[in-house]
A and B are shown apart, each in its own frame.
Chain A
């Protein structure tokens, strides 16, 4: 997902307070920033919401890549609106993380120096216009699977950010599917581009949900705290079940010869992704991992004078208005 392999932090708090905290969560209470919370809950959430925010921001890059080359003015305006939404999602989430006592600058610096990650999916390149379709359809589709249940997460500011994000995310998936429909009904070459985009994004999209629950050592505590709402395998299955008929509708072939409907299970059997590739990408060895961080570093460095100049300007305006009084 946008937050992958989030390690639950050990907690060394007073057992009595911990039990009372868990009781609040079990009763469906929302935890608010000024409420008492275990250190581990706070740290895990900072890491999870931070990584989610970074993914929204870094996620602008593969799509921003196509803004100047969108095929029509309308497609360009739509893509601009989508990328602007991603920026907004990043901002909602950064603000939610900041309520836990970490600053925006600290979060940015942790992304840039590698202490915090962004989702593996954005380490892949967007090579053709059809990739804009595949990203919206598959990547945003996978994100929605995870984000809809997170609207009920136990931490109030995170849940509220998710409500806003989910309202906007469905536009993203539908615009992606719309691009795919256009491509598959176009020329033979356009249809090939759509198939090629699906071929390249299918397994990376499956990786977004993270490794199998059987190997995921961090899930249990996070599920108990309701900061993770569903198992990785459960969401991945749901995604495949939803997406396979859509691929068929488009007349495209999912690049998995073993994908077939399992009547007994009421779901599709499918081949899992290559997890060694996933771990490698998460370590920063994806095809575009370095490029993405370099782009963020450049934006951070090049924007420094703007951030400072705006502060200086505001300070001078304050001084002038005080002097005038």
Chain B
């Protein structure tokens, strides 16, 4: 198992100017090889116009155990959303 090709995560930018989006992963020996493989595995039907590859080992992810600590505080801050505020119709478009 030790000599298995390392894992890369693949990100693709679609045609319409959106951000690169994670599409999946693959094995390759280095980044250039990962781009070649990503082209074959993830863009056979014009799914994108740009590819990023990142060694999976280089990604730091939040832990599922920290989910509450990280995301719960947003629960009671509904005033961050524009719909929180009542603006009279007379005030015009806003």
- A310 surroundings in chain B (CB, below 8 A): 5, 29, 33
Task: Check if B5 sits within 8 Å of A307, measured CB to CB.
Answer: yes
Contact of B41 among A35, A36, A91, A103 (CB under 8 A): A91
Q: A34-B63, A35-B64, A311-B5 are in contact. Are A88 and B29 (CB under 8 A)?
A: no
Q: How many residues belonging to A are interface residues under a CB distance threshold of 8 Å?
A: 28
Contact of B24 among A160, A308, A313, A314 (CB under 8 A): A160
Task: Scan B48-61; emit 1 where CB is below 8 A from any A CB, else 0.
Answer: 00000000000001
- B40 surroundings in chain A (CB, below 8 A): 84, 88
Task: Scan A30-64; emit 1 where CB is below 8 A from any B CB, else 0.
Answer: 00101110000000000000000000000000000
Interface size class of B (residues with CB under 8 A): 20 to 34
> What is the minimal beta-carbon distance from A315 to any residue of chain B, in angstroms?
8
Tell me the bound Cα distance from A138 to B94 in angstroms: 57
- A218 surroundings in chain B (CB, below 8 A): none
Contact of A95 among B4, B26, B61 (CB under 8 A): B26
A-side interface residues toward B, CB under 8 Å? 32, 34-36, 81, 84-85, 88, 91-92, 95, 98, 103-106, 160-161, 164, 168, 307-308, 310-311, 313-314, 317-318
19 CB contacts below 8 A, A to B, read A32-B64, A34-B63, A35-B64, A81-B44, A91-B41, A95-B7, A95-B25, A98-B25, A104-B4, A104-B27, A105-B1, A106-B1, A160-B24, A161-B24, A308-B3, A310-B5, A310-B29, A311-B5, A314-B33
